[in-house]
Amino acid sequence: MRIAMVAGEMSGDILGSGLIESLKKRYPDAEFVGIGGDDMQAQGLKSLYPMERLSVMGLWEVLGRLRELLAMRKQLVQQLLELKPDVFIGIDAPDFNLGLETKLKQAGIKTVHYVSPSVWAWRKKRIFKIAKAVDLMLCLLPFETDIYKQHKIKHCFVGHPLADQLKVIDDQQPARSKLGLVVDQPVVAIMPGSRGSELKYLARPFIETAQLLAKQKPGIQFAVPLANQKCRRLFEAALQQAGSVEGLTLFDGQSRDIMAASDVVLMASGTATLEGLLIGRPMVPCYKFSAISHQIFIRIIDLTHFSLPNLLGQKILKKAELLPEMLQSKVEAQPLAEVVNHWLDAKSSDALKQNFADIAKALRCDASEKSAQAVIQLLEEQPC
């Protein structure tokens, strides 16, 4: 048994390693080959290229390396056609993997795509490309299956791996002690994102919000996890411009510990909002970018909400909105502080935490095992 897999970034590497581990239970002698990071290689994958070569973000960076990426994909197609794997599994990275899957499927190789592209939100015509590319789509979110049913594309809802990893943390004291925070004073986690563009637009208003809250609530603490040294430099520069904040501490990483220690999370909207939901933390998701980008955004995105908790609440719980979203002009100190104060009130946050728990239950399906079973069923031609 030879199984080919390609992951393009760290999150995909984590998914891939769990999937390999589960597949090895059924196929202990299977050979795994393709592209993956440290985690997939630790499970036995032979990586034909460094995964970092696929880890590009942003339109201009992709365009700058487009020729290189296309050449690598063409070469990889030839290598995999020679290796003749029993199945190919593309993990996320749809702009790279769907083209690869199309070529391999045309050659008679079974193809699986793990993590549905957001065709339900934007670029909806990609569904026709997906239909040509994949024999099986593995969906992390339950509502993603609707569009595949509509277009008669074989699919399975497998749940979200983060939901398998993270559980509700009710007691904040251990995390506060670990981080050196005062255990009996409220903590607001401030998470301005890990990209330069996010920090550019969010760092200053988040700092000003903390300044306002510090005046309103003496003793309140602010913990800021910064993903890397570039993020730290950008945040420190914003802090120097805005002025100091009483009770604010910067940390290198440790975002999950900081969320666990917090009462409320003020954050850039993104994957971290799902982590906050799973551990049961009220949050204030924010999104801000240039005026031009905002105009493009509202024209191409077919969504009433942009944060994952609200999308999941809408689709799974059938609730119009679980929490306020702060977009563009709302990303200012006064409105942000008002929402943070709202969630600091336990009476306000109890219902939200119950909604989060209900969503987490729907997403917790042992994703790696379920994904492996779906792949096995495809290989052995059983119904999914």
Domain 2-159+365-379: which topology?
Rossmann fold (3.40.50)
Q: What kind and span of H or E run contains 113?
A: strand 110-114
Cβ atoms 356, 309 nearer than 8 A: yes
Could you tell me if residue 282 is left (phi over 0), alpha (psi between -120 and 50 degrees) or otherwise beta?
A: beta
Question: Residue 296 above 70 pLDDT?
Answer: no
By three-state DSSP, how is residue 88 classified?
strand
Bridge partners for 253 per DSSP: none
Residue 70: the pLDDT is 86
- CB-CB neighbours of 344 under 10 Å: 17
Residue 56: the pLDDT is 54
Distance CA 72, CA 330 (A): 43
- CB-CB neighbours of 111 under 10 Å: 26
Domain residue spans in the chain? 2-159+365-379, 173-363
Distance CA 115, CA 118 (A): 9
By three-state DSSP, how is residue 211 classified?
helix
Nearest-10 crossing angle of helices 229-242, 196-216: 50
Q: In this predicted structure, which of 23-27, 113-117, 193-197, 277-281 has the lowest mean pLDDT?
A: 193-197
Of 369, 279, 323, the C-alpha closest to 26 is 369
Please give the biggest Cα pair distance in the chain.
Answer: 67
Question: Residue 289 above 80 pLDDT?
Answer: no
pTM over 0.85: no
Residue 57: the pLDDT is 47
Question: Residue 196 above 50 pLDDT?
Answer: yes
Contacts of 116 (CB under 8 A, 6+ apart): 137, 138, 139, 140, 141, 144, 148, 155
Residue with tokens 């119904």: 383
Mean pLDDT of 218-229: 95
Q: What kind and span of H or E run contains 298?
A: helix 291-300
Rg (CA), the chain: 22
Mean pLDDT of 176-192: 98
Distance CA 90, CA 221 (A): 43
Mean pLDDT of 45-57: 82
Give just the sign of the alpha carbon dihedral 246, 248, 249, 252. Answer: negative
Domain covering 173-363 in this structure, CATH number: 3.40.50.2000
Nearest-10 crossing angle of helices 196-216, 333-344: 60
Residue 227: the pLDDT is 85
What does each C-alpha distance from 302 to 270, 311, 330, 378 come to in angstroms? 17, 12, 21, 32
Cβ atoms 284, 264 nearer than 8 A: yes
Task: Answer yes or no: same fold for 2-159+365-379 and 173-363.
Answer: yes
For residue range 334-366, list pLDDT tens digits in order: 999 999 999 999 888 999 999 999 999 999 999
Return the percentage of the chain with pLDDT > 90, whole number: 77
For residue range 263-275, list pLDDT tens digits in order: 999 999 888 899 9
Beta strands in 227-282 (DSSP E): 248-252, 264-268
Q: How confident is the model at residue 60 (pLDDT cuts 50, 70, 90)?
A: very low
Cβ atoms 93, 12 nearer than 8 A: yes
Return the percentage of the chain with pLDDT > 70, whole number: 92
